[in-house]
Amino acid sequence: MGHINLTYKKARDIQEGQIIYYSRGLSDMGRAELRRLIMEETEPCEDRDVERSIFEINEMVPRGGWFEHEEIIHLRMVDRYHGRYRLDFATGI
């Protein structure tokens, strides 16, 4: 089985789509905070079109599971309900 490669540009495009998806329903401030947090962990890259190992890309561009970190889930729930943490939203109760 061969190695999986991805360009930084494609990974950032995927990340951007996920930012849009996970920030739906957030206030402008909540969207800005979500973007700030993920960009703090996104490494810059000058060679955006060079294919790299998916393992290297995963270190450079957080996606997918990053949005499931406790801090991010909390931000999304608190912002979405204007500071009122909704237990039923968090637990399905």
pTM for the predicted model, two decimal places: 0.79
pLDDT at 81: 64
* Phi/psi of residue 43, nearest 5 degrees: -80, 145
Bridge partners (DSSP) of residue 60 are none
User: Do 30 and 75 touch, CB atoms closer than 8 A?
Assistant: yes
Domain span at 10: 5-91
pLDDT in tens, the chain (93 residues): 568 999 999 999 999 999 999 888 888 888 899 999 999 999 999 999 999 999 999 999 999 989 888 888 888 878 776 655 444 445 444
How many domains is the chain partitioned into structurally? 1
- Write down the pLDDT at residue 88: 47
Q: Is the dihedral of CA 39, 44, 45, 46 positive or negative?
A: positive
